[in-house]
Structure 1
Amino acid sequence: MGVETSDGDRGIEREIDSDPQSTSREQIENDKYPEGGAKAWSVVFGAWCAMIPSMGLLNSLGILHAWTSTHQLKEYSEFRIGWIFGAYGFFLYLGGAQAGPIFDAYGPNFVIVPGSIGIVVALICFSFSTEYYQIFLSFSVLGGLSACTLFTPVVSAVGHWFNVRRGFATGIACTAGGIGGVIFPLIILFTAPKIGFPWAIRIIALLSAILCSIACLLLKTRLSRNMKAGASIDFRALKDANYAATTLAVFLVEFAVFIPITYIASYALHVGVYQQTSYLLIVFLNVGAIPGRFLPGLLADRLGRFNVMILTAIICGILTLSLWLCAGDDVHAIIAFSVLFGFWSGAAISLTPVCISQVCATEDYGKRNGTTFTVASVGTLAGIPIAGAIQSGDGGEYGGLIIFGGALYLAAAFAFILARVVCRGWSLKTKF
């Protein structure tokens, strides 16, 4: 069986089956990529620096939610607070539709430099915010839109230097999200009680400024630029069944992943766990997420990216519906869930862009990546407040919220199975 192609003969990265002619085309395509070397790995390091502020804040939503819900926003319902943190992820992914094509046409600095300035300004404004609308505008809107320029383009830049090892290289860069998710909560946990929450956020802003400066110097592209790229959502690409099925799967997994990340600390406070331990759960989750970013990527390059996404989504669903749902006030069970979920959910960040790269041409990677995450942004926006509404409607209990999150993960696993079947058929031996 030959490889399906689209967009002419522009070398779509697809895993190849047994057809010798297809294998030859894949080998020619793979030979175009350095797959390593000082320049390639310096780009990965630059991407790592850029993603600590953007994805680190995304992975710190739990402690920010727990802190603001008991301080600045203690008079507001979980449903209304949920919109703030859902909106951060929404704007982060939504802006990818604009950042991706600009990256394709003009290179990384046209989006990364203004985004770096924006994320620092957003954090400084957030540190002075005390009202609901102020937090929403500074953290969610300005912060989310700035963060998108430090996620979509940098992932795409890594894709210019790696193909066969793209999952591993992207996973290495995405460990930044877990590291940021460890560092930022620790800064808040240990400095906010002493010098205040605003100064803790300003320390994070300073660290972000340093890292973004390094990223601006190191991030480079290698392939020819697509000057025809337009800063728009390419819904026409969804006519391609392979790409549409992949986008649906990414939408569902992004819908699911932020519910445990956002609510695990608040859950622990609800069941009576000490405040400091509750906040540390976000650190434990991100400690698990650090190897969970690159180990699944290493495995995916050998077994297939979609295959690994199916496995991780199933395990996350099982962990949520068994370990978290039955944890009660057992702090050891809650910590165990945090670490294990952090590890197995890491693929939802590091592998989803790589899955997209398998069903599009490299020249269109930024645009397709941005389009998919624009679709996924709707799930990110809705997931956290819907979970908050379920929790409020359940009398403040978390059972319904946990079941909702687990069910979404199982739906995501089914969607990745469907996407794999659409792209490569039912054969279990196929590496895809």
Structure 2
Amino acid sequence: MVSETHNDSAIHTTAKDLLSYNDTTLSESDSTDNSLEFPKYTRYAVVASCFVFQVLSCGLQISWGVQQEYLAANVYKGEPGKIKMLSYIGTLMYFGIYFWGMLAGWLAEVWSYRKLCFVGIVIMALGQLLASFCKEPWQLCLTEGVIFGLGTGLVFSPTTTASARWFTQRRGLATGIAVSGVGIGGLIIAPLTEFLLRRTGVEWSLRISAIYIMVLGSIACYFVRVPFQDKTRTLRNFDWRAFGDRRFAANAGIVFFVAAAYITPYAFLPEFWVSKGMSSQTASVLIAVANVSSSVSRLIIGFSADYIGVLNALVLNLLGASLSCLVLWPFATGVGMGVVTSIFYGFSTGGYWALAPLVAAKLCGVDRLASVSGVISTVAAVGVWMGSPVADAMLGEPHHSSYFVAVSTYTGGLWLAAFFLALFSRTLYSKKVLSKV
């Protein structure tokens, strides 16, 4: 059985040599599926457990809007200051996924994937449990925003990358299945959250969510593992010189712009549709359509990347996301175009999340995948605070439908910037249009 651990000389090479070395290694391993050396049921269990973690972490984050709407309409009705503070909770959750990525990636590699995920699950459940006793929005910011956000940040990076370490030929498909849990989580947990809020109230809905997070997460923890783990590595082993490589820097820039752009349409498209005369129920259905499309694309794009190349698929997805905001969004004033926009945006952006860990693996190899992805995720945390807040400022007070053109153009521009960086990164590998990269 071949070890994935680099020797000491490989660790201390320059960033450029390191990246070139890993490209060669990966291209040679693509001819045979080395993952066949591992028990297939172990590999499948890892993918399934990562899927569950994505459902619990990102599914609850996506479903926050349901709880926010209930709190604004029933608990804090007539208190605009408190209602406005609720909007920060979702941003803190989203920020936590990325901000703690560097810490999570390092701890996963130098400590244990399984133990780190268990700690993350405990913190997630604790955040929900403590939130059930809160009475003020600022308290919810600390519990659901900061504490729950920390928990999701600890499990997101390891469970996004663990399945990729078990596969070579089907790495894209395995990663796509794992990260499809984000969209599936939104589809399952959002209606469950609304049901619990209506039947049990805010307090018990949070306590029940803490229970199923702890139970399902603990079971999934048992199966999270990687084929090999170098226990001699420490936090000091990370090669910061990788940032000097143009491909690594371009990928960090891509993630920055994607993080800024991704959540904005989900946050503002419903308000745009309502301003055009649709009901809030229709707008929520259209967002659900985008989530379904996103889940499907993670499987299809992950699968197709194994055949057309990771960077080729990345370029096409980012171009699709740009067009959906610049070309489709401004004209999605009716239900028909709304459905088209939802499907197109969900599909193109969902595929990106299946490709992100594959791009990191192509850059720096699978044995350092968690730490490299974690560093890039922390860069993306800065982008989170640039997306929706800037879009909200563009709309002004009161929000007027004519200003949504500026928001769609702004969001499309962020996706377009990511597209050009991806195109630049691809040309660094090959300038041949039809080559598999």
- TM exceeds 0.5? yes
Q: What is the distance in 2 between the residues matched to 1:11 and 1:162?
A: 20
Who is 1:400 aligned against?
406
Q: What is the distance in 1 between the residues matched to 2:236 and 2:52?
A: 25
Who is 2:419 aligned against?
413
Q: What is the distance in 2 between the residues matched to 1:11 and 1:28?
A: 18
Who is 2:338 aligned against?
334
Who is 2:392 aligned against?
388
- In the TM superposition, residue 214 of structure 1 has moved relative to its aligned partner by 1.9
More displaced 10-residue stretch of structure 1: 51-60 or 273-282: 273-282
Q: What is the distance in 1 between the residues matched to 2:15 and 2:35?
A: 19
- In the TM superposition, residue 281 of structure 1 has moved relative to its aligned partner by 3.5
1:224 aligned counterpart, secondary structure: coil
Q: What is the distance in 2 between the residues matched to 1:84 and 1:158?
A: 30
CA, structure 1 residues 140+237, in 2 after alignment: closer, same or farther (shift >3 Å)? farther
Contact 1:185-1:279 within 8 A present in 2 as well: no
Q: Does 1:219 align with 2:224?
A: yes
CA, structure 1 residues 413+254, in 2 after alignment: closer, same or farther (shift >3 Å)? same
Cα displacement string for residues 128-179 of structure 1 (whole angstroms, at most 9, x for unaligned residues): 4443312221122111110012211112321221123211101001111111
Q: Which amino acid aligns with 1:322?
A: V
Q: Which structure dedicates a bigger proportion of its chain to helix?
A: 2
More displaced 10-residue stretch of structure 1: 235-244 or 376-385: 235-244
CA, structure 1 residues 35+95, in 2 after alignment: closer, same or farther (shift >3 Å)? same
Who is 1:290 aligned against?
295
CA, structure 1 residues 372+342, in 2 after alignment: closer, same or farther (shift >3 Å)? same
Q: Does 1:425 align with 2:430?
A: yes
Who is 1:46 aligned against?
49
Aligned partner of 2:362 among 348, 358, 362 = 358
Q: Which amino acid aligns with 1:221?
A: V
User: What is the number of residues matched between the two proteins?
Assistant: 421
- In the TM superposition, residue 233 of structure 1 has moved relative to its aligned partner by 8.1
Counterparts in 2 of 1:108-187, with a 5 A limit? Answer: 108-187=113-192
Q: What is the distance in 2 between the residues matched to 1:334 and 1:66?
A: 22
Q: What is the distance in 2 between the residues matched to 1:28 and 1:138?
A: 48
Contact 2:19-2:364 within 8 A present in 1 as well: no
Who is 1:90 aligned against?
95
Who is 2:311 aligned against?
306
CA, structure 1 residues 221+135, in 2 after alignment: closer, same or farther (shift >3 Å)? same
Q: Which amino acid aligns with 1:428?
A: V
More displaced 10-residue stretch of structure 1: 155-164 or 137-146: 155-164
CA, structure 1 residues 208+396, in 2 after alignment: closer, same or farther (shift >3 Å)? farther
Cα displacement string for residues 229-248 of structure 1 (whole angstroms, at most 9, x for unaligned residues): 31898643211222111111
- In the TM superposition, residue 267 of structure 1 has moved relative to its aligned partner by 3.6
Q: What is the distance in 1 between the residues matched to 2:167 and 2:327?
A: 38
2:364 aligned counterpart, secondary structure: coil
Q: What is the distance in 2 between the residues matched to 1:65 and 1:262?
A: 12
CA, structure 1 residues 325+257, in 2 after alignment: closer, same or farther (shift >3 Å)? same
Q: What is the distance in 1 between the residues matched to 2:170 and 2:21?
A: 16
Q: What is the distance in 2 between the residues matched to 1:68 and 1:377?
A: 27
- In the TM superposition, residue 317 of structure 1 has moved relative to its aligned partner by 1.6
2:103 aligned counterpart, secondary structure: helix
Q: What is the distance in 1 between the residues matched to 2:17 and 2:275?
A: 56
Q: Does 1:209 align with 2:214?
A: yes
Aligned partner of 2:62 among 54, 59, 62 = 59
Q: Does 1:193 align with 2:201?
A: no
Gapped regions of structure 2 (runs ≥ 5): 1-12
- In the TM superposition, residue 318 of structure 1 has moved relative to its aligned partner by 1.2
- In the TM superposition, residue 68 of structure 1 has moved relative to its aligned partner by 5.0
Q: Which amino acid aligns with 2:44?
A: W
CA, structure 1 residues 204+283, in 2 after alignment: closer, same or farther (shift >3 Å)? farther
Q: Does 1:253 align with 2:258?
A: yes
Q: Does 1:373 align with 2:377?
A: yes
CA, structure 1 residues 258+24, in 2 after alignment: closer, same or farther (shift >3 Å)? closer
Q: What is the distance in 1 between the residues matched to 2:16 and 2:367?
A: 10
Contact 2:30-2:169 within 8 A present in 1 as well: no
Contact 1:319-1:337 within 8 A present in 2 as well: yes
Who is 1:19 aligned against?
none
TM-score normalised by structure 2 residue count: 0.86
Q: What is the distance in 2 between the residues matched to 1:394 and 1:400?
A: 15
- In the TM superposition, residue 199 of structure 1 has moved relative to its aligned partner by 3.6
Aligned partner of 1:347 among 337, 351, 355 = 351
Q: What is the distance in 2 between the residues matched to 1:77 and 1:322?
A: 36
More displaced 10-residue stretch of structure 1: 379-388 or 34-43: 34-43
Q: Which amino acid aligns with 2:235?
A: G
Q: Which amino acid aligns with 1:123?
A: Q
1:358 aligned counterpart, secondary structure: helix
More displaced 10-residue stretch of structure 1: 52-61 or 116-125: 52-61
Q: What is the distance in 2 between the residues matched to 1:270 and 1:232?
A: 53
CA, structure 1 residues 327+76, in 2 after alignment: closer, same or farther (shift >3 Å)? farther
Q: Which amino acid aligns with 1:420?
A: R
Gapped regions of structure 1 (runs ≥ 5): 17-21
Q: What is the distance in 2 between the residues matched to 1:241 and 1:293?
A: 27
